[in-house]
Each structure stands twice: as C-alpha cells, then as structure tokens.
A and B are shown apart, each in its own frame.
Chain A
C-alpha cells in the first residue's frame, strides 16, 4: 500500500473519531462535564444496529435509524437519571458517575450479548474506487462523506437555528442564558441527544470498517475520540473535527510506517506534547476575560 492510501484510511478513521469527539466536546461545552460513558453509547448503538440488521433482518436504512433513535433515547435518559441530579455537585462526583455509567453499559452488553465478538455486516454496499492507482474501499468513502455532511449540517444547525444559538449561549454563560429565557435543562438534553445520535452514526461506520462488535468496541475509540477532543481544544467544535481527523491520520501512518503495536502510544504521546505546548489544545479558548 502507498502513503496515499494510508493517508486516506487515516482520514476515514479520523472522521469516525471526529464524530465521536463532537459528542464529547459539545457535552463538555454545554454541561461542563466529561461524559466518559459516551464511548459505550457507541457500543450500544453498534449492538442495536447489529440486532436490527442480522437478527431482525431489517433493511439497512431502517436499522441505522433505529440505532440512532436508540442512542438518542439512551443519551437523554443517562443525562436525566445519572447526571442531572448532580448538576451542582463537584466535578469529581460527576466524573466518577460517568465512569460508573460506562461500566454499567459494558456489563449490560456483556449480559445480553456475551463477551465474544460478533461479526458485523457492513452497511455499505461493496464497491471501491480507483484514485491515483490506489483502490479506496466503499467504507472509507462513505465514512468520509457522511462525516463531512454531518459536520456541515451541525454547523448550520448551531449557527443558524434558535436552538443552536441557545446552545452557544448556554455554553458561554448559563446564568445569562437563563435571563434570555433559555431553558438550560432542555438545552443540555438536546446536546446529549445530538451527541448520542452522532455516536450511533459513528458506531455504524466503525463497525462497518472493522466488521465486528463486542462489549468493548466503544472503549478504545471513545478514549481516542476524547483525546481528539482535548487535542483540538475541548469545548470547540472545529477543534473536535480537526483533532479527530489529525489523530486518525497519525494513527494510520504510525501503524503503517512505525509499528502497529506502538501506534496507540504514539497517538497519546502526540496528545501529551500538544498539551505541553498548548494546554488549551489547538482551538481551545484563551482566557481573555475582560475586567
């Protein structure tokens, strides 16, 4: 394989990280919490899609919709039950709760589906495209296209709609947002809904590219997407997208040219270096409070 094909598959992997990272970063921006259960929402989304496609024999589009819907409901319910009562608790209590929810989801999946990985049927019809003498798989192309489309829709939603503006307002100043008549609780719910919906899309793409699913499927991509969000500057939407793609490329190239065993270490090493140089990440907010 050539450099170009590694690069493209890095972009594709990175697009998946970016979709997951958006969930982390939006929730952080608005609810000011790290939702460590986000990775496991991905895994649940994968299982829902798997069950719908393989067990129920539903058409692919319907299965994807069911998976998205299931993740949205799951995300909103998790927020209502586990995080909302802790809205004014210390960040540490919320963090521990999030880790608890993460293990809960993993164990529920273990209980229902068992620990053995199941093979996932790709949702992308089999095709490939020749580009510059390199064959690019359908999954790669669809993943990148879907990610680009989602990012465009998301930025239109956030910048052009009333609910999107409300999200921006809440992320900047909850109190002032309330004074504008914005319902902070429903804005937070909406954020969890969007983040979890994106997680479902990411899960279907992830399980199509690496065609299997286990209760731990979400853990590593979740951590890496979180890394991408921090790398890009947590709370920043462009940061999460660029962070995700850059991370995917680094991972893909280091697997190809350095060592596939070391690739994760390299990814996290880059994060550490970035944070040493720019503690707020690539697009992180500077602290420019006006007195």
Chain B
C-alpha cells in the first residue's frame, strides 16, 4: 500500500531523517513510535508532501508520489490527520467536514461519507453547527479524524491522536481507529503513547533520531526489553 524507501530529510543543514525505509501493507495498522524529536511527524509530513525529501522515494500503491504536491495526495487515497489536529477553528463542524471532502464531486458519495463519519462520531453530528474552535480537545480530535475520513481514504495517517487527551478519551479514539481499520482502511499511526499504539497495531517501527532502530510484530515489541525500558516506562 505505502512504501517508503531510503528517505532523507534536511531542515537547512540538519539531517532530520537519515535514510528511513518501511512498508505499510493493505489493511494493516502500523505504529511508528519513538521519543520527541525522533522524526515521526517529519516522516508523515514527507509522505503527504508537506515537506520534500532530499533523497529517497515514496510509493503509494506502486505510484511514485515523492514529487507530488501535498494538495494532490488526498485524491490519490491518502488522508492525514495532522499533529495538533489543525481543524479550521473559525468554521463550523459541518463546514470542516465538508472541507474534508473538498476533492470529491459526487454529492451522494459525500453524503454517504458524512453518514459514515457521524456513525463513528455521533458527537460530531450533535455539534455539527458549532464553531469548531469551541469544541473540547477530544471533540477536536474526533473532528480532525472525521474530516480526514470524509475523503474516503484507502490509507489514513494519524499523527499523535492521543496528544493532550484524558485516558478515557484516548481509549475512545483508539477504539475508533480499530473500527476504521476493521472497515478496510489502512492506518499508519504515530504516537508518543507507545503502549496504546502498540496495543492496536499489527506491526511497528521504532524511530530514534531519524533512523529506524527496531521493527517487528507489535505484540512482540510490546514485550521487548529495550522497548519496555525506553518507551513504555517499565
């Protein structure tokens, strides 16, 4: 589904990503874990074209998307829920969701996607006319996810969905990620809450200062001594 090959990213002269390769297969939930500054967000931004890599290639279903601008990526079936949610604060919930379907022309399909989003996030339906900036943090995260799902993506990139949320809300959000995955959407998940992320993921990659240092089955990594020490606080 998604293949990242030897990607290197620079911020000025600083090499932030040092040759990262990984693969996300159809239907999987893949977790990308690592501490702050490891480069998780940079990788997601590079995949969706918000940052261009210095070298390396990114393939979405065997199409090279490395040089494709960000605004064309979403119509290729990839949606990105950015870190910090970045919903349009001054617009209503409904308007935000409509913007999520910006690339779609088929009104019926948009209606169907809206139904789908409301089914998973009934709260958004209740608050559809509310200004998005007035939502709580959890609701804003739901809106960011709902907005991404409005484009009916084949693969969903999620950046720190648990950031700033209470444990109950985190569980709720992760439950929804599992549901979305069960509906057939492939998920690439980045989160500092490694335990939660590994618990729902099929496979995972561990990122350390711009390099992948460990990868494997998520359940195995959950029991890996070095992972436990470094990321699970055990």
Flag if A179 contacts B88 (CB, 8 Å). Answer: no
Q: Choose the segment among A15-23, A103-111, A181-189, A214-222 that binds chain B (4+ C-beta atoms closer than 8 Å).
A: A181-189
In the complex, A269 has a CB within 8 A of chain B: no
When chains A and B are docked, how far (Å) is the Cα of A178 from the Cα of B70? 6
Please measure, in the bound complex, the distance between the C-alpha atom of A291 and the C-alpha atom of B136, giving whole angstroms: 11
- CA of A162 to CA of B98 in the docked complex: distance in angstroms? 9
Contact A180 B86 (CB under 8 A): no
Query: In the complex, what distance in Å separates the CA atom of A290 from the CA atom of B137?
Result: 8
Decide if A172 touches B90 in the complex (CB within 8 Å). Answer: yes
Asked whether A162 and B102 contact (CB < 8 A) given A168-B90, A173-B88, the answer is yes
Whether A166 sits at the interface, judged by CB under 8 Å, is yes
In the complex, B36 has a CB within 8 A of chain A: no
Q: Give the secondary structure class of A's interface.
A: helix
Interface size on A, residues (CB 8 A): 20
Residues of B close to A176: CB separation below 8 A = 82, 86-88
CA distance A290 to B136 in the complex (A): 9
Interface pair B151/A181, CB less than 8 Å apart:
yes
A179 touches B79 (CB 8 A): yes
Contact B100 A180 (CB under 8 A): yes
Q: What chain B residues lie within 8 Å of A178 (beta carbons)? A: 49-50, 69-71
Chain B CB within 8 A of A100 CB = no
Question: Among B49, B71, B164, which residue has its beta carbon within 8 angstroms of that of A182?
Answer: B71
The proximity string for B residues 115-156 relative to A, scoring 1 for CB distances below 8 Å and 0 otherwise, is: 000000000000000000100010010000001100100000
Residue of A nearest to B50 (CB): A175
Q: Give chain B residues whose Cβ lies under 8 Å from the Cβ of A55.
A: none
Most chain B CB within 10 A, of A168, A175, A288, is at A175
Contact B164 A291 (CB under 8 A): yes
Instruction: Assess whether B74 is interfacial by the CB under 8 Å rule.
Output: yes
Whether B102 contacts A181 by the Cβ 8 Å rule is yes
The answer on a CB contact under 8 Å between B98 and A165 is: yes
What's the minimum C-beta distance from B77 to chain A, rounded to whole angstroms?
11
Task: Check if A169 is an interface residue, CB within 8 A of chain B.
Answer: yes
B55-80 interface code vs A (CB 8 A; 1 in, 0 out)? 00000000000000111111100011
Interface string of A266-291 (1 = CB under 8 A from B): 00000000000000000000001011
Interface residues of A (CB under 8 A from B): 162, 165-166, 168-169, 172-173, 175-184, 288, 290-291
Closest 8 CB pairs of A and B: A181-B103, A178-B70, A181-B74, A176-B86, A180-B102, A178-B71, A183-B71, A181-B102
Can you list 9 A-B pairs with a CB-CB distance of less than 8 A?
A: A165-B102, A175-B86, A178-B49, A179-B70, A180-B100, A181-B151, A182-B102, A184-B71, A290-B133
Chain B residues with a Cβ under 8 A of chain A? 48-50, 69-75, 79-80, 82, 86-91, 95, 98-100, 102-103, 133, 137, 140, 147-148, 151, 164
Not counting A176-B88, A179-B48, A182-B71, a sample of 10 additional A-B residue pairs whose C-beta atoms are within 8 angstroms of each other reads A165-B91, A165-B98, A169-B88, A176-B87, A178-B71, A179-B50, A180-B103, A182-B102, A183-B71, A290-B89
